[in-house]
Amino acid sequence: MGRVRYENMDRIDNKKTFSDMRNWQRERKSKKKDLSVQIPQASQKEVEELRRNRTKPSITWIGHSTFFIQLGGLNILTDPVWAKRMGTQKRLTEPGIEMNHLPEIDVVLISHGHYDHLDFPTIKKLKGSPTFYVPIGLKAAFVRRGYKKVVEGNWWDQFEHEGLRISFVPAQHWTRRTLTDINTSHWGGWIVEDGNSSVYFVGDTGYFRGFQDIANQYEIDIVLMPIGAYEPEWFMSVSHINPEDSVKAFLELKGKTFIPMHYGAYRLADDTGPEALKRLEKEWKRLQIDQGQLEVLAIGETLWLSATNESN
């Protein structure tokens, strides 16, 4: 029996040919990109408060797709990656909190198996005994490494965890960790609710109709939305949403607050962190969306959700 291979909605695939790869590499060589300017980085002055905190909901951007979330009295990490390199590329910005400064972690949410989202050397260093929520097909990779508290989710599955409702929702992407395991595990986003606030960690995705389906089933307060790794768009658009489409998706989701992610840490494509952010802010202004709904966090910056909810 062959291995299960997972698919996107409407069977949209992102298969690329050797010729596509070669054309992208040629295109990349022809571009002049300024990598000397990076996105802002906050001081780690709030770390001690976060370590002690078990009551106030908060979101801290560590960098890339890694967030430290405190909700319902629990400490949550999304796609924890503190790796200094990704392939041949050196990390461009330091993580917002040093790993040894983190408190014990209760829950880890994994969006998919790509190395910039699932880094086992990082996971090995986490404090505490977290429960790992992972896409269907990934549990075995954790069990092989000795992890026992692992919960697999398929699209639209919901779980209860110490007062939280955790839901796995669709994304448009793909995954691979070896030469033979392409799409043998799924990909998606996670919605975490505690009865007062809901946080949607979108994961890695292209723009797709699933955002409308998600909006039909959930009321979402905070959207952690990718905006980077979109260039060249003829190559990346199926799997990585561009800044303009990320705003379109946010409006479809009817979210209250947009927090951008997936930019500025690793050079996975040809765009830069500042370019992605500039395009996002330009589109936000063009559509005349309330500036109070856009929370651009510096790396290491914390948003205290209670204050956000009061302002909304």
Does residue 14 belong to any structural domain of this protein? Answer: no
Helices (H) and strands (E) in the chain, counts: 9, 15
Which residue reads 């994994």 in tokens? 110
Q: Are 246 and 279 in contact (CB under 8 A)?
A: no
Q: 103-138 in b/e burial notation, b at 16+ Cβ within 10 A?
A: bebbbbbbbbbbebbbbeebbeebeeebbbbbbbbb
The model carries a pTM of 0.95
How many independent structural domains does the chain possess?
Answer: 1
Mean pLDDT, residues 32-41 taken together: 88
Neighbours of 263 (CB within 10 A): 27
Give the DSSP letter string of 221-264: SEEEEE--S--SHHHHTTTS--HHHHHHHHHHHT-SEEEEES-S
Does residue 138 belong to any structural domain of this protein? Answer: yes
Does residue 294 belong to any structural domain of this protein? Answer: yes
Q: Are 131 and 108 in contact (CB under 8 A)?
A: yes
Give the per-residue pLDDT at 41. Answer: 92
How does pLDDT run across 127-166, given as a tens digit for each residue? Answer: 999 999 999 999 999 999 999 999 999 999 999 999 999 9
Does residue 45 belong to any structural domain of this protein? Answer: no
Strand partners, 68: 60, 77
Instruction: Give the chain's radius of gyration (CA, Å).
Output: 18
How does pLDDT run across 81-118, given as a tens digit for each residue? Answer: 999 999 888 999 999 999 999 999 999 999 999 999 99
Does residue 7 belong to any structural domain of this protein? Answer: no
Least confident of 14-28, 96-110, 170-184: 14-28
**Percent of the chain scored above 70 by pLDDT?**
97
Does residue 205 belong to any structural domain of this protein? Answer: yes
Q: Are 67 and 61 in contact (CB under 8 A)?
A: yes
Q: What CATH number is given to the structural domain containing 277?
A: 3.60.15.10
**Collapsed DSSP state (helix, strand, coil) of residue 115:** coil
Q: Are 135 and 152 in contact (CB under 8 A)?
A: yes
Does residue 54 belong to any structural domain of this protein? Answer: no
Q: Residue 311: pLDDT above 80?
A: no
φ, ψ of residue 62 in degrees (nearest 5) = -80, -30
Structure-block tokens of residue 200: 């949607």
Q: Residue 312: pLDDT above 70?
A: no
Give the per-residue pLDDT at 1. Answer: 52
Q: Are 8 and 208 in contact (CB under 8 A)?
A: yes
What is the C-alpha separation between 200 and 192, in angstroms, rounded?
6
Report the amino acid identity of residue 246.
Answer: S
**Collapsed DSSP state (helix, strand, coil) of residue 217:** helix
Which DSSP category does 38 fall into? -
Q: Residue 225: pLDDT above 70?
A: yes
Q: Residue 310: pLDDT above 50?
A: no
Q: Which domain holds residue 278?
A: 59-311
Indicate the average pLDDT of the chain.
94
Give the per-residue pLDDT at 14. Answer: 87
φ, ψ of residue 47 in degrees (nearest 5) = -60, -45
φ, ψ of residue 244 in degrees (nearest 5) = -65, -45
Does residue 6 belong to any structural domain of this protein? Answer: no
- Name which of 80, 76, 147 is nearest 116 in CA terms: 80
How does pLDDT run across 237-274, given as a tens digit for each residue? Answer: 999 999 999 999 999 999 999 999 999 999 999 999 99
**H/E element, 68:** strand 66-71
Give the per-residue pLDDT at 2. Answer: 65
Q: Up-side HSE of residue 301: CA atoms within 13 Å toward CB?
A: 13
